[in-house]
Structure 1
Amino acid sequence: MKLDALEALKVTRSNANKRFPNEEDPRFVGDLLFPSLKPKFLLNAPARVFTIGSCFARNIELALADHDGIELPTSAFSVPESEWEFRPNGLLNEYNPGTISQRILSAVGSEDEPEETIVKTRDGFIDLLLPGGSPVTFERAVERRSEIRGIYESLVSSDLVIITLGLVEAWFDEEIELFLNRMPTRQDLRSQPDRYSFHRLGVSDALPLLDRAFGGLVEAGVERVLLTVSPVPLGTTFSGGDVVVANSFSKSVLRVCAEELSQKYPQVDYFPSYEMVSSGGLGAFNPDNIHVRDAVVRRVTGHMLDAYFPNLVSDSGTNGHAPDDANVARSGA
């Protein structure tokens, strides 16, 4: 952005939220900050909402599921607990810009993922394009990919696509030239050191990957994309140094990418869930300091619903908070 001097003064004079909020500011609610929003688009329920991204995308999904007017195609996916012991549809998680881009481009282009990324272990086969899961038979891994492709058939026809960017550290398959959603086994890393590499993506790496995917969505006819950055930090870093510093770099890169994409595409709007949750400090997180408290997710999602779904009454009240939930970020209630 570049403004001439007089235009900058004019913009500042007309901006009611130009100063960082103190405790008297209406944007400060129950130890969290709720930035003012100017949505690029509005939606009416009922609406189909497709969620893509990190585990925080699943958190948003669960909060949206409380509302009868929201249809969530991704909630229809599940696997047996023997394959994945966490949320039934958690295998849909996409963490880094590379796999998010690949997943979207595959969906809009109807391309199958190469079977070479289903690799054999001592106990069965694992899918390196999924975020985890126990070993299964090769046939089951192929079948599961088909089930996921079936879920993504609803992507283009959805009224809103919410994409949550997670992290910038990723493993890469040099032979197939694809980003991976999980680390290969240590045995494979040792036996095939030239096949796999680790990447810490900068803006110059991540932005072109995401730009191709968002361009593909728009070209396929998607008219509304809500882009967020997950507040969930890196659990482990492979880049060296302290994970706290690595996480700050990761979120900064993703936040810049989100800004660039929302400026480029009229169909893309940025929703500041990262800023809202982060404003509460570690009090907004569970004791592991990684996962966001469910009550905080509900408040943040309520703020989103209030802004983008004017005919849908959220259970969060004004500014995304319930009257009896004012101090949940600190109390953990």
Structure 2
Amino acid sequence: MSEYKKFLVFGSCLSSHIGVRLKEKGYSFHGALRHVRSDVLLDALSEKGGLSLSDNDVEYLISNLKSGNEDVIKRCRDQLVQNSNKKLNFFIEKIREADFVIFDNQYDLERKKSEVQINGCNHVVSNFNFNGVKLPFKDLGVLPESKFDSYNNVYDAFRAINPDIKFVFIQYPIVDGEDLVKTGRQKRVKRSESTSLFREQWKFLSTPLYKVGIDYVSERNINHFQPAVYDKLTDVVIDIVRNGEQKNLPNTIDLDGYGKKKLSPYANLPDRQYWKPAVAEPYPLAITDLYRKKFDISIEDGVATCGSCFAQHIGKRLDRKGYNYLDVEPVPADLAKEKAKALGYGIYSARYGNVYTSRQLVQLFDRAFGALSFDEVWQDKAGRYVDPFRPNLCGEGYTSAAEVLEEQQKHLQNVRHMFETLDVFVFTMGVTETWINRQTGAVYPICPGVTAGTFDPNTYEFVNLDYATILDEMETFLSRLREVNLKAKVLLTVSPVPLTATAEERHVLLSTMASKSILRAVADQLYRRHAHVDYFPSYDIIMSPPFKSMFFKNNLRSIHEEGVDYVMSHFFAEHQLEGQPVPRDLTATGHETADEAKEEEDDEAFCDEAFLELERKTNQ
């Protein structure tokens, strides 16, 4: 059982990494000796010198360091202590108590040992740079290859102290790749392979010599590896300790990537991931693979739409294509078409009008579920009462404030039903700029005083929502929606329609780019965070360079119906209802009949924001 297996570590950080993993698997760490070559330890165990520094010797060498840097002093003291007589005695005592020892040969492959005289006594020290000491020393070089077969002597020395101890030798991996040439590591590779040739002569068991690709090297430096290498070696060590055999593992094993040229992460990517073949070379309307759905939408799934003006286009095309498009506030049979639209019927899945911002969305949800309420009512220019949260969908207005609030509650009940029953919620993020009530925090689809209400700077305040705020508010909405409807999936889009006007003291073009960029970044973050949130790139398609604003009308705000059709063709190419042909020509119109095309042309999307243009003309 692993819980009573006490082990020692002898060698470099490689053995230390494996030791950490052994502890995690229930083995008991009992001590370590580091920064020491095997021949130096063998001499010490055989009482032939080595590991002979006293505490005073260590401090004497530290006092003669050329550097006064605290980190350098700390590292040097640690290396010298490992070469001390006190450390040797400690390690010998631990050998007597341990069940097995793991050690590697990194220091034997490349580290030098030196001889220094202190108070007339010669001391052999390994893995210490005496060039940084103000004392004479003798460089004894690296371990000669003639001694690569002496590991059996090291094993015998351990067994002389503890006849029952197991000995697990970890051959230090070698790394393939051009980096070896640049760092002059060819000799180390050759010495590793030479050591491995003696494996069949060893009295103890060892890991194979792993040859790893450069991908397995840590970013720290070439002496450290990725966790996968340490994990693999740990598994082999455990197998040796438990079974006493290695199941015929070969002398050398190539891990994936060895002997293969390291490729850049950008090599051999699909064409869709390179700008030239994906964007610059194709005819713009022949660009494909812009959208890959995250989840399916079936013909039974109830789909609701909400958001800014562009979402109206999406809803109409979903309905026309045969999707189960939700309309929780359908048009009364006796209501004329133009009057129905003026009252907000058929624009979205409920009569909430345009929901431009994340805060509007959260407040709409909270109001629908009774967590938030406002008794505010506006009056239009004729003195009639209107709902401040959909001021342009009240027709000729109401005769009293009470009537507005009564109709508002009926509407919110329908909105609640929609959120509770929908399967897919399509939300088009519109703008970041909005107006709020300083006292109540209520947020509106349009600035008070433009079409209804009276603007009072003491009551109303302009707010331009930032990235962090919008992300937080959208996360709030997603969380609350899941609380009432666990099956709900969300499809986000960003409206490509520019701002009509900006309340920021800067060019409207700059405000538009800032607003849309923030919304796009939020949408991307939500897409990455949540499996039930998808993003459809309507904004990206309309606004990207290859399309050269071809989808905009002359005002450079409104989108041509053909542009909407092209955008939605990418959606329908992924979300294809059973029985419908997969669209192959993405340049083709989405209209089923000429009558539908005429209807779309006459039926402009309703935008509260468009009234801001009237304000400009009024003031001219």
Query: With structure 1 as the length reference, what TM-score do the two structures score?
Result: 0.82
CA contact (8 A) 1:230 1:273 kept: yes
Provide the rounded CA distance (Å) in 2 between the counterparts of 1:106 and 1:214.
16
- The structure with the larger Rg is 2
Query: 1:15: Cα distance to partner?
Result: 4.2
Residue identity opposite 2:483 in structure 1: E
Match of 1:142 among 392, 405, 408: 405
Cα distance in 1 for residues equivalent to 2:481 and 2:267:
34
- For the Cα contact (< 8 Å) 2:331–2:345, is it kept in 1? yes
> What is the CA distance between 1:312 and its match in structure 2?
5.8
291, 296, 305: which one aligns with 1:42: 296
Q: Could you say which residue in structure 2 is the equivalent of 1:329?
A: none
| Counterpart in the other structure of 2:387 | 127
Question: Any gaps of 5 or more consecutive residues in structure 1?
Answer: 326-332
Q: Given the superposition, is the C-alpha separation of residues 218 and 13 from structure 1 closer, same or farther in structure 2, using an over 3 Å criterion?
A: farther
Counterparts in 2 of 1:300 and 1:323: CA distance versus 1, 3 Å: closer
Question: Which SS does the other structure have where 1:162 is aligned?
Answer: strand
Separation (CA, whole Å) in 1 of partners of 2:343 and 2:313: 13
Q: Does 1:318 align with 2:584?
A: yes
String of CA shifts for 1:280-317, please: whole Å, max 9, x gaps: 34320222221211122122223212213352636x82
**Corresponding residue of 2:192:** none
Q: 1:115 is matched by which residue type in structure 2?
A: D
Amino acid at match of 1:255: R
The alpha-carbon distance between structure 1 residues 23 and 305, as it changes in their structure 2 partners (threshold 3 A), is: same
Q: Once structures 1 and 2 are overlaid, which stretch shifts more, 282-291 or 244-253?
A: 282-291
Alignment coverage as a number of residue pairs: 315
Contact 1:49 1:71 in 2 (8 A): yes
Note if 1:114 corresponds to 2:365: no
CA contact 2:387–2:408 (8 Å) conserved in 1 = no
Q: Distance in 2 between matches of 1:226 and 1:319?
A: 24
Consecutive unaligned residues in structure 2, runs of 5 or more: 1-217, 220-225, 227-261, 592-600, 602-620
Whole-angstrom distance in 2 between the partners of 1:54 and 1:236? 15
Match of 1:286 in 2: 553
Cα distance, 1:84 vs structure 2? 6.1
CA deviation after TM superposition for structure 1 residue 23, in Å: 5.1
Q: What CA distance in whole angstroms lies between the structure 1 residues aligned with 2:289 and 2:426?
A: 19
Asked if structure 2 preserves the Cα contact closer than 8 Å seen for 1:56 and 1:232, the reply is yes
Match of 1:330 in 2: none
Contact kept? 2:429, 2:494, Cα under 8 Å: yes
Tell me whether 1:100 sits opposite 2:361 in the alignment.
Answer: yes
* Structure-2 residue corresponding to 1:328: none
Question: What residue in structure 2 maps to residue 17 of structure 1?
Answer: 272
> Percent of counterpart pairs with the same letter?
22
| CA pair 65-254 structure 1, distance change in 2 beyond 3 A | same
Write the deviation string for residues 128-165 of structure 1: whole angstroms up to 9, x where unpaired.
21263454332442243234324321223222110100
Aligned-residue RMSD, C-alpha: 3.3
Paired AA for residue 287 in structure 1: N
Which residue of structure 1 lines up, in the alignment, with residue 49 of structure 2? none
Distance, in Å, in 2 between the alignment partners of 1:52 and 1:285 is 22
The answer to whether the Cα contact below 8 Å between 2:303 and 2:325 also exists between their aligned partners in 1 is yes
Matched, 1:227 2:492: yes
2:365 counterpart letter in structure 1: I
Structure 2 CA distance for aligned equivalents of residues 320 and 237 of structure 1 = 35
Distance 2:564 2:390 in 1: 24
Query: Taking structure 1 as reference, are residues 171 and 248 closer, same or farther at Cα in structure 2, changes over 3 Å only?
Result: same
Matched, 1:51 2:314: no
Q: Is the 8 A contact 1:299 1:322 kept in 2?
A: yes
The Cα shift of 1:166 comes to: 0.3
1:141-290 → structure 2 map (5 Å cutoff): 141-152=404-415, 153-185=417-449, 188-190=454-456, 193-220=457-484, 221-279=486-544, 280-290=547-557
**Which residue number in structure 1 is paired with residue 565 of structure 2?**
298
Does the 8 A contact of 2:330 with 2:345 survive in 1? no
Partner secondary structure for residue 57 of structure 1: helix
Give the partner amino acid of 2:430.
Answer: G
Q: TM-score, normalised by structure 2?
A: 0.46
Aligned pair in 2 of structure 1 residues 216, 323: CA closer, same or farther (>3 Å)?
A: closer
Per-residue deviation, residues 52-78 of structure 1 (Å, max 9, x unmatched): 101111111111121234323267268
Higher relative contact order (CA 8 A, sep 6+): 1
Does the Cα contact within 8 Å between 1:35 and 1:276 map onto a contact in 2?
no
